Amino acid sequence: MKKIIVLLFVMGTCVVFAQNYEATKVPTPNYRLASKFSPTNLAKLVHSTNVRPNWLKKGNRFWYQYKTTNGSNYYLVDADRRTKTKLFDNDKMAEWLTEITKDPYDGQHLPKFDFKFVKDETAIQFRVTSTEEVEAKDEKKDEDTEDEEKEDVKKDSTDTKKAKKKKPKMEKKVYHLEYRLGGRGLTVIGNSKKEDKLKRWANIAPDSSIVLFSKNYNLYWMDKENFLKAIKDDKDTTIVENQWTKDGVEHYGYGGSGRGENNETKEEKKDDRKGVRGIWTRDSKKFIYERSDSRHIKDLWVINSVSKKRPTLETYKYHMPGEQEYYKFELQVFDIPSKNVMNVKLDTSKQQSINVYRHRYKKSEASDEFKPSLLLSKKGKIYFSTISRDRKKLDICVADILTGDVEVLIEERFNTYIEEQQLVLFNNETEMLYWAERDGWAHYYLYDSKGNLKNQITNGAYHVDGFNGIDEKERVLYFTANGVNKSIDPYYAHLYRINLDGSGLRNINSGDFTTNVSTSDSNKYFVSNFSRVDSTPKSELRSNTGALIMSLEEADLTQLFATGYKFPETFKMKANDGITDIYGVMYKPFDFDATKSYPLLEYVYPGPQTEAVNKAFSVRMDRLDRMAQVGFIVVTMGNRGGHPDRSKWYHNYGYGNLRDYGLADKKYVAEQLADSFDFIDINKVGIYGHSGGGFMSTAAMLVYPDFFKAAVSSAGNHDNSMYNSWWSETHHGVKEEIEADGSIEHKYDIDKNQSLAANLKGNLMLIHGDIDNNVHPGGTIRMADALIKANKRFKFMVMPGQRHGFGKMTEYSFWLRADHFSKYFLGEEATSVDILEMNRDKPKK
């Protein structure tokens, strides 16, 4: 509310009085400003914003690439020596590449490198593709082509005619190069292309002696010699394949999933080798496979009308909440030498899911080309968990790999859903780290290998987010957590250390910001990337005591700020209960004018597995900063029942009320914002979101039809009775009821958006991709059907040939959203057939 001083002259006398008025000046839609911040344009303005360390195996060293407006630089950091040096001189590298490839380079414009450290990490190897074209080299000459050439010779050979020769296939020349660190030039190793040694269909044993794959839903194997043939030529007819199983059928087989294939490609690829996922023992003698039976699960379909001449049908299994059928899981052990198969002794009559725990690779092994999936246990024990369909009963188990006998080590029970994280074995597998939320907060517990609790390690009103490392000798645990420091935003994550007996808790990268860390294999050092939405990202190297070793980088935002960019603003309000703190971010137009009255748009994603509230600086602006530039105040905020990084009470608040649980907070916070800021027009509140946000934005329009005046809901799961059972039954709940005959029935009931269609008063746009096999378009079609039957006007856009994320039509969907809110809140409708902002910068051909 503004106050104006009014002067009136009555018969020569000046009368002064004050009058309140509301700002009525509405912004003009600024499409040009919004178009400046498209993903394509942003890629030119902002480059690296964090350091991604590539840890080396030798010493506490890592290399990283960092790009600024001056180009990319590559650095080698030695934490022990506290040194940071360039891997090479950019200008020299450009000179050497130009001399070798005959293509021009300079230090600011080097090719994209994919380095491999070799020779005890004293040298790097990489490949560069030149513009020069050479005759393609075939490792194995095609026999059919050779026969055709012979036939041509027979037909055309005379004393006067020469045999016809086919034009050779050409390809870009590749240079395989090596640079010795500190050297004065490059060595050309050869001109070979990088071989595809890791075929997608191949599951290679750790010792490379055998390769497993799926074919016609059965398990096959080949030895190393034949696999090497397949690397050279996948179609080599001399390759010997060995069939292991014969009972595999579609939807109850051994690998070979056809998810994403349509009726045509499925037929074309039916005899191809396909992948089979499983886990190896370290000695390569056992292969553990989780076999699922989904034959009884009902089918779902999508049709791609823009695929080919004839529209294609995609059929897939899809379990919906409340359906009595459920996937059946088995755990099998394949013995490689004997070719015997044994089943782990599980009660397959139970409706439950299985998760086999796997080995964590070291950070220094991240770039290794070959990383087979290994059992968590080095001793061949199978550690796994089972969780009931209603996700209220979790068992941590271990199975004997020779007998299949199962022992339950830890039982977890809760009245809402149970979350789990990876089990950690250490101290020669005599101790275990176990993560649980049993006291209402996520914490680590120390168990012995027999399942006996030794002590709770972390304790208090804060959330332990994840494992970062353990020093077995010093018995120190490193982990990330939220909410330890009550004076800062509870979503800000930091790195902590604590003794395994629960003493000595210490934050080792403190600050009023959120951090993302990468810890060395030795646990002695870590790279910390830190920022807020309203600060420039920085990166530094610290020791495990928190001591600063060196500052590494600060993001180069000079070009971004030159465009007029301004950081968003954070805020804290109260939830609708008047007690719970709700944290959010406000995005303003960069040409913001406090004398104008701005509509308020809420961008929402309800989770409950996350919240759509940025905590770190990000250049992914298409749904937030960019939307504000059109002429709106855009906000994101949490809600009770949202992010899991707070208390379990906060996270599980929406359990049993998955449609409406977050809406009261969205409304109440908006009202508080309008009370705090005169430039917000509380009579023009809009809401938009994608997926769960699409569902929530429509629900808001129907539950509070007099408050939310416009919405754009894309890919929304409006009818959660037909969304996937994992998400819906987990976060809303499914009830297990024991019938008189002892059988278990699963009862599920949830409120749906279409049941409130008659409540619509504002302006709603629905968008969905027609081949979305995650959130089926049927949910949005049912919403449209209910609105039509309720005699409501609304907009409905189908994105042809698009999956859940809209792909290349994402930019188009942005302008649909801008048009919708511009028309109903700013009073201007885009009527041009062309979307100028998409066409303006495209070269005309």
- Distance of alpha carbon 200 from its chain centroid, rounded? 21
Whether 626 maps to a domain, the answer reads: yes
How is residue 593 written in tokens? 């004018």
Tens-place pLDDT, residues 556-568 = 999 999 999 999 9
How is residue 351 written in tokens? 């409706």
Please list the residues that pair with 65 across neighbouring strands.
Answer: 74
Task: For residues 93 and 98, give the distance between their C-alpha atoms in angstroms, rounded to a whole number.
Answer: 8
pLDDT at 203 over 50: yes
- φ/ψ of 232, rounded to 5, equals -75, -40
For 574, 585, 666, 685, 706, the CA distances from 672, given in Å and listed in that order, are 8, 14, 10, 13, 17
Task: For residues 809 and 58, give the distance between their C-alpha atoms in angstroms, rounded to a whole number.
Answer: 46
Tens-place pLDDT, residues 260-301 = 888 888 888 989 999 999 999 999 999 999 999 999 999 999
> Which has the closest alpha carbon to 528: 504, 508, 555, 557?
508
Please list the residues that pair with 102 across neighbouring strands.
Answer: none
Task: For residues 774 and 728, give the distance between their C-alpha atoms in angstroms, rounded to a whole number.
Answer: 13
Confidence grade of residue 138 (pLDDT, cut at 50, 70, 90): low
How is residue 535 written in tokens? 């600060």
Question: In this predicted structure, which of 221-230, 303-312, 371-380, 707-716 has the lowest mean pLDDT?
Answer: 303-312
Peptide bond just before 608 cis, omega within 30 deg: yes
3-state secondary structure 146-200: HHHHHHHHHHHCCCCCCCCCCCCCEEEEEEEEEEECCCCCCEEEECCCCCCCCCC
Task: For residues 460 and 335, give the distance between their C-alpha atoms in angstroms, rounded to a whole number.
Answer: 46
With b for 16 or more beta-carbon neighbours within 10 A and e for fewer, the 43-58 pattern comes to eebbbbbbbebbbbee
> Which has the closest alpha carbon to 735: 320, 388, 297, 419?
388
**Do you know the residue count of the chain?**
845
Tens-place pLDDT, residues 558-606 = 999 999 999 999 999 999 999 999 999 999 999 999 999 999 999 999 8
- φ/ψ of 265, rounded to 5, equals -65, -30
Task: For residues 844 and 681, give the distance between their C-alpha atoms in angstroms, rounded to a whole number.
Answer: 42
**Residue 622 confidence (pLDDT):** 73
Whether 298 maps to a domain, the answer reads: no
The average pLDDT across 390-406 equals 97
The three-state secondary structure class of 754 is helix
DSSP string of 519-535? E-TTSSEEEEEEE-TTS
The helix or strand, by DSSP H or E, that contains position 698, with its residue range, turns out to be: helix 692-703
The average pLDDT across 114-141 equals 87
Confidence grade of residue 18 (pLDDT, cut at 50, 70, 90): very low
Task: For residues 332 and 404, give the distance between their C-alpha atoms in angstroms, rounded to a whole number.
Answer: 9
Whether 399 maps to a domain, the answer reads: no
| Rounded (5°) CA angle 583-586-590 | 160
pLDDT at 9 over 80: no
pLDDT at 115 over 50: yes
Task: Please report, for the domain that includes residue 788, its CATH number.
Answer: 3.40.50.1820
| Rounded (5°) CA angle 270-273-276 | 110
Whether 215 maps to a domain, the answer reads: no
**Residue 294 confidence (pLDDT):** 95
Task: For residues 781 and 787, give the distance between their C-alpha atoms in angstroms, rounded to a whole number.
Answer: 10
Share of the chain above pLDDT 90, in %: 83
pLDDT at 16 over 60: no
The average pLDDT across 699-720 equals 97
Residue 739, class by beta-carbon neighbours within 10 Å (0-12 exposed, 13-18 middle, 19+ buried)? Answer: exposed
Whether 616 maps to a domain, the answer reads: yes
Side chain identity, residue 797 = M
| Beta strands in 309-350, from DSSP E residues, in sequence order | 312-317, 328-335, 341-343
Strands 493-499 and 506-507 come out as antiparallel
Tens-place pLDDT, residues 661-697 = 999 999 999 999 999 999 999 999 999 999 999 999 9
**Residue 11 confidence (pLDDT):** 45
The average pLDDT across 163-170 equals 75
Domain that holds residue 790: 560-723+753-824
Please list the residues that pair with 106 across neighbouring strands.
Answer: 109
Whether 605 maps to a domain, the answer reads: yes
**Residue 842 confidence (pLDDT):** 79
> How many Cβ atoms are within 10 Å of 274's Cβ, its own excluded?
21
Strands 116-118 and 123-135 come out as antiparallel
Q: What is the DSSP letter of 284?
A: S
Q: What is the DSSP letter of 834?
A: S
The three-state secondary structure class of 837 is helix
Strands 763-769 and 708-714 come out as parallel
**Residue 767 confidence (pLDDT):** 98
Task: For residues 632 and 586, give the distance between their C-alpha atoms in angstroms, rounded to a whole number.
Answer: 10
Tens-place pLDDT, residues 770-783 = 999 999 999 999 99
**Residue 607 confidence (pLDDT):** 82
Task: For residues 800 and 770, give the distance between their C-alpha atoms in angstroms, rounded to a whole number.
Answer: 6
Task: For residues 746 and 727, give the distance between their C-alpha atoms in angstroms, rounded to a whole number.
Answer: 15
> Which has the closest alpha carbon to 663: 683, 643, 682, 641?
641
Whether 839 maps to a domain, the answer reads: no
> Which has the closest alpha carbon to 25: 629, 829, 830, 827?
827
| Rounded (5°) CA angle 748-754-758 | 135
Task: For residues 303 and 358, give the distance between their C-alpha atoms in angstroms, rounded to a whole number.
Answer: 37
- Helix axis angle, 692-703 relative to 663-676, nearest 10°? 70
Asked if residue 772 lies in contact with residue 302, where contact means CB atoms within 8 angstroms, the answer is: yes
Peptide bond just before 843 cis, omega within 30 deg: no
Task: For residues 770 and 88, give the distance between their C-alpha atoms in angstroms, rounded to a whole number.
Answer: 50
With b for 16 or more beta-carbon neighbours within 10 A and e for fewer, the 782-796 pattern comes to bbbebbeeeeeebee
pLDDT at 8 over 50: no
The three-state secondary structure class of 74 is strand
- Distance of alpha carbon 123 from its chain centroid, rounded? 33
Asked if residue 231 lies in contact with residue 195, where contact means CB atoms within 8 angstroms, the answer is: yes
Asked if residue 514 lies in contact with residue 615, where contact means CB atoms within 8 angstroms, the answer is: yes
Task: For residues 113 and 766, give the distance between their C-alpha atoms in angstroms, rounded to a whole number.
Answer: 43
Question: In this predicted structure, which of 152-166, 349-363, 515-529, 659-673 has the lowest mean pLDDT?
Answer: 152-166
Instruction: Give me the number of domains the chain comprises.
Output: 1
Longest Cα–Cα distance in the chain: 123
Tens-place pLDDT, residues 224-254 = 999 999 998 889 999 999 999 999 999 999 9
Residue with tokens 């009555």: 10
How is residue 251 written in tokens? 């939807």
> Which has the closest alpha carbon to 813: 830, 799, 827, 803?
799
Pinpoint the alpha helices (H) of 3-75: 31-36, 39-45
pLDDT at 129 over 60: yes
How is residue 6 written in tokens? 């009014």
Q: For the CA atoms of 487, 493, 495, 500, what is the dihedral angle to 10 degrees?
A: 90
The helix or strand, by DSSP H or E, that contains position 708, with its residue range, turns out to be: strand 708-714
> How many Cβ atoms are within 10 Å of 749's Cβ, its own excluded?
12
Strands 352-356 and 569-574 come out as unpaired
The average pLDDT across 802-827 equals 96
**Residue 841 confidence (pLDDT):** 75
**Residue 4 confidence (pLDDT):** 46
**Residue 24 confidence (pLDDT):** 64
The average pLDDT across 128-137 equals 91
Whether 382 maps to a domain, the answer reads: no
Task: For residues 689 and 808, give the distance between their C-alpha atoms in angstroms, rounded to a whole number.
Answer: 18
Q: Is 546 left (phi over 0), alpha (psi -120 to 50) or beta?
A: left
Question: In this predicted structure, which of 9-13, 238-242, 791-795 has the lowest mean pLDDT?
Answer: 9-13
